[in-house]
Amino acid sequence: MTIAINVVQVLMLVLMAPLVRGVIARIKARIQNRRGASVLRPYSDLAKLFHKEDLVPPSASFVFRLAPVVMFAVTVVAAAFIPVLRSSALLGIRGDFFILVYVLALGRFFLLLGAMDGGSSFGGMGASREVLVSTLAETPLLLALMSLAMVAHTASIEKMVLWTTGQDFFELSAVHALAFAAMALVAIAETGRIPVDNPTTHLELTMIHEAMVLEYSGPSLALIEWAGAIKLTVIMALLVGLFLPWGMAATFSLPAVAIALVLWLVKLGGMALALALVESSVAKLRMYLVPDFLGVASALAILAVVFTALMR
Amino acid sequence: MTQAAFNSFLVALLLVPAVTFILRRWKKARVIPSSLLLLSLITGLFVAGISFWSGKHLAVDLSQWTPFPFALSIDRLSAFFLFLICVVAVPVTLFSSSYIERHYAGARRDWLWSLLPLFLMSMVLVVTASSAFAFLFGWELMTLFSAGLIVVDGDSQERRHNIFIYLLMMHAGAAAVVAAFLLFVPQAPALDFAQMRTSIALMPQSFRTAVFLLAFTGFGTKAGIIPLHLWLPKAHPIAPTPVSALMSAVMLKTAIYGFVRFGFDFLGPGPAWWGYLVLVAGGFSGVLGILYAIGEHDLKRLLAYSSVENIGIIYLALGTGLVFQANHAPIWATLALLAGLLHCLNHAIFKGLLFLGAGAISDSAHTLDLEELGGLLKRMRITGTAFLIACCSIAGLPLLNGFVSEWLLFRSFLAASGLTTLTGATMLPLAAGVLALVGGLAAACFAKVYGVAFLGRPRSDEAETACEVPRPMQIGMVLLAAACVVIGVAPGLVLAPLSATVQEFLPGAAMPQEAASLSAVIPWIALSVAVLVLAIASVRRIKRLTPTWACGLPALNSRMQYTATAFSKPLRQVFSRAYKPNRTVEVLPADQPYFPASISYRSVRTTSFEKSLYQPAIDAVVITAHRLRRLQTGNMQVYLLYIFAALIALLMFMRWS
Amino acid sequence: MGLFETEAAKALASSAVFLFITVLLMAAAKRISTCIMMFSAQSAVMAMQVLAIARMRHSREAYAIVALVLIVKAAAIPYALFRIVDALKAPRDVSSSTTSAQSIFIAAGLILLSFFAVKPYAGALGVDEAMLAAAVALILTGGFLMVSRKKALMQVVGLLVLDNGIFLAALTTTFGMPLVIEIGVVFDLLMGVFLMGLFAFRIRDTFEHLDVSKLRRLRG
Amino acid sequence: MILVFVLLIPLAAAFLVLSCRRPSTVVRAALTAGALELIFIGGAAWSIHAKGVLQAGRYLRADGLTSFFLINLGLISALVLVYSAGYMRHVPEGRFSSLRWFYGLVFLFLFTMVAVYLSANLGMMWIFVEATTLASALLVGFYNTEGSVEAGWKYLIVCTVGIAFALFGTIVFYLAAVKSGVNPESALDWSSLMSAAPGLAGRRELLKLAFVFVAIGYGTKIGFVPMHSWLPDAHAEAPSPISAMLSAVLLNCAMYALLRFDAITSHAIGAWFSHTLLLIFGGLSVAVASLLMIVQRDLKRLLAYSSIEHLGIVAIGIGVGGALGVYGALLHTFNHSIAKTLLFFTAGNIRENLGTLRMERIHGMTRSLPWTGGSLLLGALALAGLPPFGLFVSEFMIFMAAFSAAHYFVAFLMLVAISVVFGALLYHFQRMLTGEPEKPSVQTKLQAFEFATIGICAVCLLVLGLHIPATLAALLRGAAAVIQ
């Protein structure tokens, strides 16, 4: 039964990811007084891409085609760490957030290599920018998670979620506030959203992620896009799980699970709305302001850790 | 049986040079020294493995011959490091068996084949010694033989300067180590390890601190922690590549061994600030080391700096262990030590592999300058794949060995939440931030290395015409790559005996459940990733070759690619404080700056420790020497005055004493 | 205690004065030959002192020592030195780095210093303070001559004076060491003077001068 | 009886050699005499080992200490004779500087040193120490060049002055002994002084005074800073075999004399005073010499300073005392004399081949003179106190002694100084060994003699680094027992 639900969770995250993107895009469009495309648009994009053929530069080696696959695979595996409906996940019990973070890093590493395999200057440019962002994002992310883990006295995501469910929302410490702020900023950077990166641009002065995947096409591109969507969803789900997990099903009873699902969707929607608001109200940062942006995140995370130590 | 094998291992190592010199004239016997060495190393590998996994103690005692007790004994810690030595030395020897033949001839080849086993021998002495005399014997010889191996490789002004710095710093470090040992003399006159262990109880605290600081400095110099790292990026790149591999992968670890012996085995629990000192040193070495590495585009120097970084990670672990030990948390100390020791092994493996890869590159592309390379993967599939694995594991990515040790280290930082002291509870988690930064930078650095050297299109004709290296070299690299994967996927294999090792010298240690949990979850992740990758890859995707998008230009050439320098530019920009570049822009002709014939831009990065730390000290000594020299005026009457002055001084001393 | 003994004792007590005079004159001297003569006189005085002591304590050995000193120190060595001075055909001034007035004052100062120096010991050892002071004074002046005079031969002279001082110290404190030793010491001295003379010739041949303060090729 | 032979063979040999005319016969006679001397020394050592103390008349005595130093002298002088047979082929003809004078003076020199070792009477000992100066002065000035004459003169004067103080010190000892009721006849006899030592305690001040003078005097001869000034000149300007003898035998000889006095003093008034003096001199020598080694330009001067440094280490070893300290110090004298012999012989080869000893003019010896370069490297490693060479062992012993006697400051000073020395040697020798060799100016064929001796030294150093032969150990223990 548990296994079943856990598998369902993973499938949900993987399959709903494009929808989340679609929703965000739709909301943004509405905020900008456009009608916007249907929320299901990403699905049809993926489908189209999957039917196209792979265009491979002559200079490229097997890494070029391996990268998207690895990227997708590890993102799916990462999804298996996240409790959604119940405070349990497929790899949740032993899999802690260090593994989660580094599994995602594995995918990114391969994407970097793939980008540089194209042999164009865009790939290298995108890779070097991506590497800057991700390197600087890793510290605050891990520190923030660290502080939460220290509060909850466990490293396993599942147990951390469980611990938070045990708390009363209004008794959550400053640590959580700080950690949440830090992680939100990091999440924006990690998923390449405004103000760090603009997923819809193709202007080489500004683009980071898009420059990396410029050489990709067809199924490979589809895998990358899908993986990106999953990553976004996974991180949102992680935030939800860590900071407002209340309402997760405590028992296996169908209504409980159903309520949990509904609540979860609502939370996710809320986050999507927030993200869309941020994206359409903030201007994109200059490249060399991104370190400052992440510096703020790091400062918040360090504060969170210090507070945890102080408030024992 | 094992004992006999061990003895024969030592004897064989000593035999190889003799054999080399006897057979040097005989063309057909070329393979004999290498194969003999290989054989003996495999024996050593088995010996070490057996006594590491079974905890069987071995001992060799030559004290009746030598002026001081000269005893070797293998407990689990020694066995682990012996294993580490052999596990790297076997592939390296295999690699060299064709590398040396291809690149060296005549006397130089003979010298290499006779110094290499002696070098290995000295390292074996260091890690197996059980008396100060034997340890120092091996310790000094290790420096000498490695220097000899460097000297054999060539001769130039710069090389001489580097060797000079190397030997000088090593000797100074050795002096500190000697002092650290000698402080035990009052309690343990024979300086036998067992005696030292027991006598520590009688030693006053001030002495313990002195011993600790001396050991920290002495072994730190050998390990190359910043700011004692100056020699490392100078000495490692100029050695013959297999030797650089051994130096970076193994020789540095002997210093870690010595530090663990002193810090944990001999001294036992000390004040917490020891730990914090080591922690801070480790953090600095980690961050600065990897930053300097990112700035390099000479592959071997880059790897040398990344050794500094990894040593920093190891010191982070050891420092954490010391902190926990000082706070009476032996199990968490075990966890930290597991991380540290395992990272020793991991770094040995992947750094050895990386250096061998560098050797393969220089062998086929005749250059180690990243800006000259590119697209090697298509031409050297085996080397490239092995190198890819090495890069992933040194970047600390999951499913490979580098991740395991870093993960253990993260968990031991997390364990600090249980500490009662505020310093511990803040500093250790923040150290996790440092480690995260280091990990991220390492990933960036090696993405750069691999992407520029092996991917994209070749940047020079040499890279264009590069071809795969001969079999033995490939096998050497593949073996190490396999080791990376094995430890990365099934860490339990090593973690169990390793924690037993720690329990041998750490009172109250026990296998922490974190280690178990990791070895339970990693295989699943590996399995699922593998399944997914295979599944998706098995889906047939139609593929068509089309030229890279060139923004409508006719065609891209390799100069349009991102270079290594360009790749690392944003990071260098952000961390510009760490580098002290002195840039020079030269405009020719000088008299008409607005119509230049050529503008050349040079940016030389010095590590700024050389300028601000070492040079003044050296100058001070030399100036004093010159002042003293002036006292020797050459006028005999002045000399007579000195004698009378000495007499009068002594008479006064006599009056007042 | 017979008449001779008392006379001898008196002579001994007063003889120190002569030594001081020789010392001062040496310090004042401008020519090497004067110094050599002073040295021989000094040695003669010391021979007399030994004689007096010999009278006082009726020791056979002492007479031998008297003869030794008279022959070697008072006669042979000065003679040899004179020969060397002639043979060298070099300028015969001592070429001092201090004026003779200064030298005299320094010498006088050294004599006073030596009186202070021996005070604690003289009493304890029960020996004549003046004699012991004279010994120390000779040692100090010998050193002073060696340091301040630039001529090679003057260093030999200074050395001899220094040696006289030591001899005198031995004499006053222990009434002479065993004969064999004394003979050996004197023999060494003789050989030393011979060698130094030899080197003096070599210096002159190789450097065309005898100024040791100019021998500064080897330094550092 | 055997002692008389040991004493007289060199003297006889000296006159024999001087009477010879033809160079070949001179060399042959010298070698035979050297062999004979070595044999008799061995015999003497053996019977000392058997009987304990040999006495011949009132003035000749030999005990364990003597036999150790005698063996040292015998070995080194034999090596020197063999080496000279090859090295002194073309000598400038002149007064006192011809082949027969060379050997004659060498044997006189040997005679005086043997006499120092054998004399039972401290006054006697002084006479012969002074005689060593006289005998070797002509050897130092042997080449009769500007430098050698200057060096010889300085050597003669400075050492004579220094030694004069030693005579004064000896007299004061005598005085103290006589005053405290020792029979004047035997008041300078070492063993009777040793037995009477407790009685001398009353004369504390006198003994201290005496030891100060003796330390200055013999210290000048040993080359303690600041009385060392003659040493670099003499070592640099003398013919290489003589430099080897000065540094490897003569300094030990003076050290021996000082040891005798130190033993008496420390028995009489406790070890503190004399040992502190030794520590001061040792520390000063080690520190100053190690620094001065950095700025040397002439190879033999460099070696001379390293002699100062090593004798300083020996002094420290004696100064920290204890069984291990004395044992280590004596062993160190032995090791040092072998290493120094090797290096001075090598220096001789270099001069023969390249015609210069200026280190900045010598490059690429590994290519131009591989064997000589190899021996230079080997000697340098040995001098720097690295394993597997003997000096590592003895220095380690001295360190252990220092630490167990809680002389931390001196020990750390010595550690630092040794590092500085290593740096200096490395700096100079690296430049000499590597780089582009210039065309050797005077290319002469090297004799088998020369490499035979160098090889023997190298083997000895290696063996002593790994294993101390039982006989040597016994010798050392016997020697240490005498002065303990």
CA separation, residue D106 to residues B205, C123, D138, D250, D398 (Å): 57, 47, 10, 12, 33
CA separation, residue B229 to residues B102, B218, B616, B620 (Å): 32, 12, 17, 21
CA distance C203 to chain B (A): 14
- C148·B637 Cβ contact <8 A: yes
The yes-or-no reply on D/A contact (3 CB pairs or more, < 8 Å) is no
Among A77, A96, A131, beta carbon nearest to B444 = A131
Confidence of residue B586 (pLDDT cuts 50, 70, 90): confident
In degrees, rounded to 5, the angle at the alpha carbon of residue D310 between the alpha carbons of residues D309 and D311 is: 95
CB atoms within 10 A of CB A183: 26
B315 or B295, which is more confident? B315
Strand B58-61 and strand B71-74: the pairing is antiparallel
A102 at interface of B, judged by CB pairs closer than 8 A: yes
Residues of chain C with C-beta less than 8 angstroms from the C-beta of B630: 220
D154: its two tokens: 């300085």
Q: Three-class SS of residue D119?
A: strand
Measured distance CA(A284)–CA(A203) in Å, rounded = 13
Task: Answer whether residue D4 shows pLDDT above 70.
Answer: yes
The domain of C56 spans: 3-214
Which residue in B has a C-alpha nearest to residue C97's C-alpha? B637
Residues of chain D with C-beta less than 8 angstroms from the C-beta of C181: 121, 123-124, 127, 188
- D387·B647 Cβ contact <8 A: no
CB atoms within 10 A of CB D54: 21
| Domains: count for chain A | 1
pLDDT recorded at residue D441: 53
Strand B598-606 and strand B580-588: the pairing is antiparallel
- B186·D232 Cβ contact <8 A: no
For chain B, the first-to-last Cα distance in angstroms comes to: 64
CA distance C189 to chain B (A): 19
Which uninterrupted H or E stretch holds B580?
strand B580-588
Q: Three-class SS of residue B86?
A: helix
> Is D242 among the domain residues?
no
D383 at interface of B, judged by CB pairs closer than 8 A: no
Residues of chain D with C-beta less than 8 angstroms from the C-beta of C121: 205-206, 209
Q: Do the beta carbons of residue B172 and residue B221 sit within 8 Å?
A: yes
Residues of chain B with C-beta less than 8 angstroms from the C-beta of D420: 621
Give the residue among D61, D84, D52 at the shortest CA–CA distance from D6: D61
Task: Answer whether residue A176 shows pLDDT above 60.
Answer: yes
The domain of D415 spans: 271-484
pLDDT recorded at residue B190: 87
A146 at interface of B, judged by CB pairs closer than 8 A: yes
Q: Which of C110, C147, C161 to mutate to test the interface with B (most CBs of B within 10 A)?
A: C147
Contacts 24+ apart (CB under 8 A), A27-31: A27/A272, A27/A273, A27/A276, A28/A276, A28/A279, A28/A280, A31/A276, A31/A277, A31/A280
Confidence of residue D370 (pLDDT cuts 50, 70, 90): confident
Among C121, C195, C220, beta carbon nearest to D156 = C195
Measured distance CA(D197)–CA(D264) in Å, rounded = 6
Among D158, D165, D212, beta carbon nearest to B654 = D212
Which residues of A, range 112-141, sit inside 8 Å of B by Cβ? 112-113, 115-125, 127-129, 131-132, 134-141
CB atoms within 10 A of CB B319: 26
C80: its two tokens: 């040899």
pLDDT recorded at residue A171: 75
Measured distance CA(B408)–CA(B424) in Å, rounded = 18
Which residues of C, range 82-121, sit inside 8 Å of D by Cβ? 120-121
- B640·C143 Cβ contact <8 A: yes
Burial pattern B387-399, b for ≥16 Cβ within 10 A else e, equals: bbbbbbbbbbbbb
> Is D26 among the domain residues?
no
CA distance B621 to chain C (A): 16
The 10s digit of each residue's pLDDT in B310-330 is 999 999 999 999 999 999 999
The domain of A216 spans: 2-310
DSSP calls for D314-345: HHHHHHH-HHHHHHHHHHHHHHHHHHHHHHHH
D162 at interface of B, judged by CB pairs closer than 8 A: yes
Where along chain B do its domains lie? 1-198, 269-507, 614-656
Task: Answer whether residue B298 shows pLDDT above 60.
Answer: yes
pLDDT recorded at residue B353: 97
Q: What does the pLDDT average to over A151-159?
A: 89
The 10s digit of each residue's pLDDT in D124-156 is 999 999 999 999 999 999 988 999 999 999 999
> Is D441 among the domain residues?
yes
- Residue C220's contacts (CB-CB under 8 Å, 6 or more residues apart) are B629, B630, B632, B634, D292, D295, D296, D297, D301
B356 or D449, which is more confident? B356
The 10s digit of each residue's pLDDT in D384-410 is 999 899 999 999 999 999 999 999 999
CA separation, residue A166 to residues A152, A178, B38 (Å): 10, 20, 60
The 10s digit of each residue's pLDDT in D332-362 is 999 999 999 999 999 999 988 888 899 988 9
pLDDT recorded at residue C3: 66
- Residue A144's contacts (CB-CB under 8 Å, 6 or more residues apart) are A178, A179, A180, A182, A183, A186, A297, A300, A301, A304
For B27-36, B83-92, B399-408, D207-216, which range has the lowest pLDDT when averaged over its residues? B27-36
**Radius of gyration of chain C measured on its C-alpha atoms:** 18
Measured distance CA(A309)–CA(D56) in Å, rounded = 86
Mean pLDDT of chain D: 92
Q: Report the percent of chain B where pLDDT is more than 90.
A: 74
The 10s digit of each residue's pLDDT in A243-296 is 988 888 887 788 888 999 999 999 999 999 999 999 888 888 888 889 999 999
The 10s digit of each residue's pLDDT in D438-464 is 765 555 566 788 889 999 999 999 999
The 10s digit of each residue's pLDDT in A178-231 is 999 999 999 999 888 888 888 887 777 778 888 898 889 999 999 999 999 999
| Domains: count for chain C | 1
The 10s digit of each residue's pLDDT in B242-286 is 999 999 999 999 999 999 999 999 998 999 999 999 999 999 999
Confidence of residue C2 (pLDDT cuts 50, 70, 90): low
CB atoms within 10 A of CB A262: 11
Give the residue among A103, A133, A131 at the shortest CA–CA distance from A115: A131
> Is C112 among the domain residues?
yes
Place of tokens 């990365």: B488
CB atoms within 10 A of CB D247: 31
Which residues of B, range 633-652, sit inside 8 Å of C by Cβ? 633-637, 640-641, 644
Helices (H) and strands (E) in chain C, counts: 8, 0
CA distance B196 to chain A (A): 38
- Residue B12's contacts (CB-CB under 8 Å, 6 or more residues apart) are B36, B37, B39, B40, B43
Which residue in A has a C-alpha nearest to residue B410's C-alpha? A98
Task: Answer whether residue B610 shows pLDDT above 90.
Answer: no
CA distance D180 to chain B (A): 21
Which residue in B has a C-alpha nearest to residue A55's C-alpha? B544
B546: its two tokens: 């089309």
CA distance D408 to chain C (A): 31
Mean pLDDT of chain A: 90
The 10s digit of each residue's pLDDT in A123-146 is 899 999 999 999 999 999 999 999
Mean pLDDT of chain B: 92
Measured distance CA(B229)–CA(B458) in Å, rounded = 34
Q: Which chains touch D (3 or more CB pairs under 8 A)?
A: B, C
Q: Which of D172, D206, D212, D316 to mutate to test the interface with B (most CBs of B within 10 A)?
A: D212
Q: Do the beta carbons of residue B391 and residue B446 sit within 8 Å?
A: yes
CA distance D466 to chain B (A): 6
Which residue in D has a C-alpha nearest to residue C156's C-alpha? D157
D336: its two tokens: 């040092």
The yes-or-no reply on A/B contact (3 CB pairs or more, < 8 Å) is yes
C147 at interface of D, judged by CB pairs closer than 8 A: no
- Please tell me the pTM assigned to this model: 0.94
For A190-199, B62-71, D108-117, D389-398, which range has the lowest pLDDT when averaged over its residues? A190-199
Q: Do the beta carbons of residue D255 and residue D71 sit within 8 Å?
A: no
Give the residue among B286, B275, B272 at the shortest CA–CA distance from B224: B286
Q: Do the beta carbons of residue B363 and residue B469 sit within 8 Å?
A: yes
Residues of chain C with C-beta less than 8 angstroms from the C-beta of B633: 216, 219
C59 at interface of D, judged by CB pairs closer than 8 A: no
- D130·C188 Cβ contact <8 A: yes
A227 at interface of B, judged by CB pairs closer than 8 A: no
Give the residue among D139, D308, D301, D344 at the shortest CA–CA distance from D219: D308
Task: Answer whether residue C1 shows pLDDT above 60.
Answer: no
Q: Do the beta carbons of residue B33 and residue B13 sit within 8 Å?
A: no
Strand A54-56 and strand B543-545: the pairing is parallel
- D415·B629 Cβ contact <8 A: no
Q: Report the percent of chain B where pLDDT is more than 70.
A: 99
Among A53, A61, A98, beta carbon nearest to B407 = A98
Which uninterrupted H or E stretch holds B102?
helix B76-103
| Domains: count for chain D | 1
Among C148, C213, C220, beta carbon nearest to B635 = C213
ipTM reported for the complex, 2 dp? 0.92
The 10s digit of each residue's pLDDT in B180-225 is 999 999 999 889 999 999 999 899 999 999 999 999 999 999 999 9
Task: Answer whether residue B556 shows pLDDT above 90.
Answer: no
Measured distance CA(B334)–CA(B311) in Å, rounded = 19
> Is D329 among the domain residues?
yes
As to burial, measured by CB atoms within 10 angstroms (0-12 exposed, 13-18 middle, 19+ buried), residue C204 is middle
Residues of chain C with C-beta less than 8 angstroms from the C-beta of B644: 143, 147
- B640·C220 Cβ contact <8 A: no
Place of tokens 């082949």: D99
Confidence of residue A93 (pLDDT cuts 50, 70, 90): low
Among C143, C212, C218, beta carbon nearest to B644 = C143
Task: Answer whether residue D159 shows pLDDT above 80.
Answer: yes
Asked if the peptide bond before residue D388 counts as cis, ω within 30 degrees of 0, the response is: yes
- D174·C215 Cβ contact <8 A: no
Q: Which chains touch B (3 or more CB pairs under 8 A)?
A: A, C, D
Residues of chain D with C-beta less than 8 angstroms from the C-beta of C199: 137, 141, 149, 152-153, 156
CA distance C117 to chain D (A): 12
Q: What does the pLDDT average to over C106-119?
A: 90
Which residues of A, range 34-73, sit inside 8 Å of B by Cβ? 53-66, 69-70, 72-73
> Is C220 among the domain residues?
no
Phi/psi at D38 (nearest 5 deg)? -60, -45
Q: Do the beta carbons of residue C34 and residue C25 sit within 8 Å?
A: yes
